[in-house]
Amino acid sequence: MSQISANKNLLAIASGLLLTASFPPLKTDWLIWIALIPLLISINNETPKRAFRLGLITGLTHYVTLLYWIINVLANYGGLDMITSIFVLLLLALYLSLFTGAFSALITIKMHSRIKIFLFAAIWVSLEYLRTFFLTGFPWGLLGHSLYSRLSLIQIADITGVYGPSFIIAAVNISIFEIINQRRHILKNRYLIIETILLIVVFALSLSYGKMALARYSIIKPENTMINAAIIQGNIDQSVKWDISFQDKTIIKYSDMTKKSFNTSPDIVVWPETAVPLFFQDENPLTEIIYEIAKEGNTHLIFGSPGYKRDSDRILYYNTAWYISPEGEIKGKYSKNHLVPFGEYVPFHNLIPFVYRLVPSAGDFSKGESDAPLMLGSISSGILICYEAIFPDLAREQVRKGASIFINITNDAWFGYSGAPFQHLFISVFRAIENRRPMIRSANTGVSAIIDPRGIVTAQGDIFTDEIITGRVSTGYNEKTFYTRNGDIFALSLSIICLLIFFIPLFYSKASVKK
C-alpha cells in the first residue's frame, strides 16, 4: 500500500471517529461541523470506485464505534456467542456504510459541478431519507440528531424534519472543505462565493426561525390544559425480568413506587415497555393489583405487557401498551406497529428459515392492527413503543389522527451502560419538535424523561436507577405543523432533484448516441 493510500485511509477513519464523537454520551457535538472534512479530503480527485471504498471505511469506523452496544444486546440477551455477535454488528455496520460509500462515489462523479455545496448536501440528505425506510429502515444517528442540544438550530424540524439540520451540517462541512481546497483561487470561483453566502443566509434564517419558535412555544398554556404526569422507572434487571418467580416482586415494586407518586396527584402514570412481565389480559391476582392501583390513585395508567389473540388455529402475540382508566377498567390498548427485525420477528423467515438458528431468542410478534391514538378520557395520546420513536412517520401519523401528547414506553436495559439510552432519548426530541407535541417517556432502566414541544427535556432521570419522575404537561397543543401535514416533502424534493441531476444527462447521452 502506498503512503498516499495509507494517508487517505487514515483520513477516512478520522471522519468515522469524528462522527461518532459528535453523538452522546460524549459532549463534543461541535465536531459534527468538521466531521466529514477528512473524508472529503481523502476522496478528492479519486475515482468513484476508490471514493466508494473510502466512504465504506468511514462508515464502518463510525457505525462500529456508534453501535458497539449491539454486541451486548446479542451476546448477553440474544443467546448468541461473542464471535457471532461481533459478526452481526459488522454486518449491520457494513450495510449502513453502503450509504456513506454511495455518498462518496456520487459526489466524486459530480466533483466538477459548478454548484457543489447544496448539491452534495442534498445527496447526503437523500441517502439519509432512503435509510429511514429501506429494508424496514434504521434512522439511528442521522447527522441532525447530533444537534439535539442546539435547540435554536433544530426548530426548523417542524418544517423539514430532522433532514433540515442534517442538510445544514453537511453543507457547512462541504463549504469549509471547498474553501480550503480552493483557497488559492477562491476569489475567481463566483459559484463557491455565491453558495457560501447563500449558506450563511440559510444558517441565519434557520437560527432566527429557531429563536422565534422557542419564544412562541415557551408561552405557558392555559391551566385547564395542564396535567400532572408521573413516570415510574422500575429498573428491573433484564436477567430476572421474565423469571416467573420474580413476577410478584416486579408488580409490587411498580405498585409501591406508583403509590409514592400519588402525593403529586398524577393525572397520568406511565410504566415502561413490558413493565408487567406476564399476559395481563389473563385474570390472576397480580392483575388485580394493577386495576386497584389505578382506582386508588384515580389516575390513567399506561403500561407495557405482552398481549395475544387467537386467530383460527394459531395464536398471534403482540408487544402491547395497555390503558387502565381511573375506574380500574381496561379502556384501550395499542400494539406495536414497527417491530424490531430479528428481535421481535424474523423478516423473510419463509425464504430464509435458517436465520432462526442464528437468532435463537428472536421473538415471534405480530404487527399491531391500529396506529390510532389512545383516548385517556379526553386526552388523545399517541403511543410509541420502544424504537418506534426513531421513525418520524409513526409519530406524525398519530398527530394527524388527533394526538395531543406522545407517550413513549421503552425498555433500554438491553443496551447496558452505553451511549445508546441517551442516543435513543435525544432522537425522541425530534418527534416532539416536528409535531409540536410534548412527550412522556418511560424507560425500564432509563432514560425516562418529559420533553416539551420545543424539544427541551424538562424532567429526566438517570440510567439503571429507581426513579419516580413527575412533571406538568400541556395537552393544549392542537395545531398541526407543516411537517405534520406534509411529512418529508423537504427530503423527498431533494431526492427527486438529485435523481434528475444524475439521470437527465444519461438520457441525453443515450439520445446523442442514437443520432
134 & 103 share domain: no
Has residue 313 been placed in a domain? no
Which are the catalytic amino acids? 273, 336, 386
424-430 mean pLDDT: 97
446-451 mean pLDDT: 95
Has residue 138 been placed in a domain? yes
In the chain, % of residues over pLDDT 90: 76
Q: Which residue has the higher pLDDT, 74 or 352?
A: 74
Total number of domains in the chain: 3
8-17, 72-81, 220-229: which is most confident: 8-17
Has residue 232 been placed in a domain? yes
Would you state the cell numbers that stand for residue 140, as one nine-digit string?
439511528
pLDDT at 479: 92
Has residue 343 been placed in a domain? no
418 & 290 share domain: yes
| Cβ-Cβ contacts under 8 Å for 69 (sequence gap 6 or more) | 415, 416, 418, 419, 420
Is 90 exceeded by the pLDDT of residue 507?
no
147-157 mean pLDDT: 97
91 & 141 share domain: no
pLDDT bucket at 204, cuts 50 / 70 / 90: very high
Has residue 198 been placed in a domain? yes
Is 90 exceeded by the pLDDT of residue 323?
yes
pLDDT at 351: 56
247-271 mean pLDDT: 96
103 & 187 share domain: no
159 & 126 share domain: yes
Choose the final residue of a domain: 112, 141, 156.
Answer: 112
Report CA dihedral (61, 67, 72, 78) to the nearest 10 degrees.
-110
Strand order in the sheet with 300-311: 330-335, 314-324, 300-311, 268-270, 226-233, 467-474
165 & 120 share domain: yes
70 & 122 share domain: no
Looking up residue 329, the CATH number of its domain turns out to be 3.60.110.10
Is 80 exceeded by the pLDDT of residue 350?
no
pLDDT at 365: 85
117 & 212 share domain: yes
429-436 mean pLDDT: 98
pLDDT bucket at 357, cuts 50 / 70 / 90: very low
87 & 180 share domain: no
Has residue 371 been placed in a domain? no
* Cα-based distances in Å from 54 to 45, 106, 173, 502: 13, 13, 17, 21
In three-state secondary structure terms, 471 is strand
Distance in angstroms (rounded) separating the CA atoms of residues 505 and 515: 15
Is 60 exceeded by the pLDDT of residue 244?
yes
pLDDT at 501: 92
Would you state the cell numbers that stand for residue 198, as one nine-digit string?
447563500
| Domain span at 107 | 1-112
Choose the final residue of a domain: 68, 94, 112.
Answer: 112
pLDDT bucket at 504, cuts 50 / 70 / 90: confident
Has residue 421 been placed in a domain? yes
Determine which of 66-80, 379-393, 443-457 has the lowest per-residue pLDDT on average. 66-80
pLDDT at 385: 97
390-396 mean pLDDT: 96
132 & 276 share domain: no
Is 50 exceeded by the pLDDT of residue 241?
yes
451-464 mean pLDDT: 96
Distance in angstroms (rounded) separating the CA atoms of residues 304 and 322: 6
pLDDT at 314: 87
Is 60 exceeded by the pLDDT of residue 512?
no
The model carries a pTM of 0.93
Has residue 453 been placed in a domain? yes
pLDDT single digits (tens) 71-122: 988 888 777 789 988 998 999 999 999 999 999 999 999 988 889 999 999 9
In three-state secondary structure terms, 312 is coil
38 & 129 share domain: no
In the chain, % of residues over pLDDT 70: 93
pLDDT single digits (tens) 273-294: 999 999 999 888 899 999 999 9
131 & 81 share domain: no
34-63 mean pLDDT: 97
Choose the final residue of a domain: 63, 89, 112.
Answer: 112
